[in-house]
Amino acid sequence: MTNEKASVLGGPFTFPGTSLTVNRLGYGAMQLAGPGVWGPPRDVDGAIAVLREAVAAGVNHIDTSDYYGPHVTNEIIRRALHPYPAGLVIVTKLGARRPADKSWQRATSAEELTAGVHDNLRNLGLEALDIVNYRVMGAGHGPEEGSIGEQLSVLAELRKKGLIRQIGLSNATAAQVAEAQTITQVMCVQNNYNLAHRHDDALIDDLARQGIAYVPFFPLGGFTPLQSSTLSTVAARLEATPMQVALAWLLHRAPNVLLIPGTSSLAHLRENLAAARLTLSPQVLSELNGIAAG
């Protein structure tokens, strides 16, 4: 990895207590599946090209899950990148399943979690998973309080067996993070957060003090892209796109924030990666911080 690539992609972050180091701007694979995150994409060769260009550009953190598709994104990742380049960190998720009706259902029993690990290993072509996030499935996909101790204990046992190297959380509350830390070391927390959705501000700061990664999903608003006249005005002034400014703001938010914007388009991939080159002045940051308040 050249210094130029490292600086372009937000600089390095090392997961706490490990030798796993990634550039802060990574890639999320969910959009490589078909519509509704179901079935294969219309253009499999295009999906492969996006993955290969991302890695060639210095991306070494890919986020996925075997329930995307299901199985589709992992199979495409394997086809595009296996044997994997040294230093590539693949992070996956457990806690959900996709039955034939295309719904999203919880998969939280010991048997389901164990089967999920083996599905990921098989479809990614790995002997051990770098990081596995337990995804809390609340109502309507949102967070939901409640004990996750039983599920984290299962993952901790799978880690002892060597099938998982590290453990993280997704869609988790501060209380669930604290509970998880009584069972195992938590590498990262992946929650819904962006310029307009800032409910996790206190959690991000707490994790930053501990050196734990915070990974925003829906960094650009998800299925309802961020819309803000302030964002558009700032972007025009910086000769950037609103989405680039929104990503750059996240990189400025805290040093433990890692980004995994997803796309199935080479043009959008290049646009996303270029966001790491944007420098936002204190005045611009103040303007953007006002969006959530508004």
Q: Which pLDDT tens digit goes with each residue over 241-266?
A: 999 999 999 999 999 999 999 999 99
Residues in Cβ contact with 139 at an 8 Å cutoff, skipping those fewer than 6 apart: none
Give pLDDT tens digits for 40-87: 999 999 999 999 999 999 999 999 999 999 999 999 999 999 999 999
Can you read off the two tokens belonging to residue 204?
A: 């991000």
The closest of 70, 60, 58 to 94, measured between CA atoms, is 70
So what's the pLDDT on residue 164? 98
285, burial (CB in 10 Å: exposed 0-12, middle 13-18, buried 19+): middle
pTM over 0.85: yes
- Nearest by Cα to 8 from 49, 52, 58: 58
Three-state DSSP class for residue 28: strand
The pLDDT value given to residue 174: 98
Would you say residue 180 has pLDDT above 80?
yes
Longest dimension (CA), the chain: 53
Catalytic residues: 68
pLDDT band at residue 2 under the 50/70/90 scheme:
very low
Task: Report the alpha-carbon distance of residue 105 to residue 126 in Å, rounded.
Answer: 25
Amino acid 3: pLDDT:
41
Cα–Cα distance between 7 and 70 in angstroms, integer? 35
Tokens of 5: 């690539």
Residue tagged 């925003």 (tokens):
216
- Domains (ranges, CATH) in the chain? 3-226+249-265 (3.20.20.100)
pLDDT of residue 8: 62
Confidence of residue 7 (pLDDT cuts 50, 70, 90): low
Contacts (Cβ under 8 Å, ≥6 apart) of 208 = 214, 254, 255, 256
> Would you say the C-alpha torsion 287, 289, 290, 294 has a positive or negative sign?
positive
The phi-psi region of residue 2 (left if phi > 0; otherwise alpha if psi is between -120 and 50; otherwise beta) is: beta
Residues 6+ apart with CB under 8 A from 183: 149, 152, 153, 156
pLDDT value of position 278: 96
Q: Work out whether the CA dihedral 264, 256, 104, 185 comes out positive or negative.
A: positive
The residues, any chain, with a CB within 8 Å of residue 194's CB and separated by 6 or more, are: 216, 218, 219, 220, 221, 226, 246, 250
Tell me the average pLDDT across 225-235. Answer: 91
pLDDT at 1 over 60: no
What's residue 6's pLDDT? 42
> Torsions phi, psi of 189, nearest 5?
-130, 125
pLDDT digits (tens, 9 = 90+) for 103-144: 999 999 999 999 999 999 999 999 999 999 999 998 777 899
Rounded-to-5 percentages of helix, strand, coil across the chain = 45, 20, 40
Mean pLDDT of the chain: 95
Q: Residue 141: its pLDDT value, please?
A: 77
What confidence tier does 285 reach under pLDDT thresholds 50, 70, 90? very high
pLDDT of 27-43, one tens digit each? 999 999 999 999 999 99
Q: In which band, very low, low, confident or very high, does the pLDDT at 153 lie, cut at 50, 70 and 90?
A: very high
Q: For residue range 187-196, what is the model confidence (pLDDT) as tens digits?
A: 999 999 999 9
The pLDDT value recorded for residue 95 is 97
- How many other β-carbons are positioned within 10 Å of the β-carbon of residue 202? 10
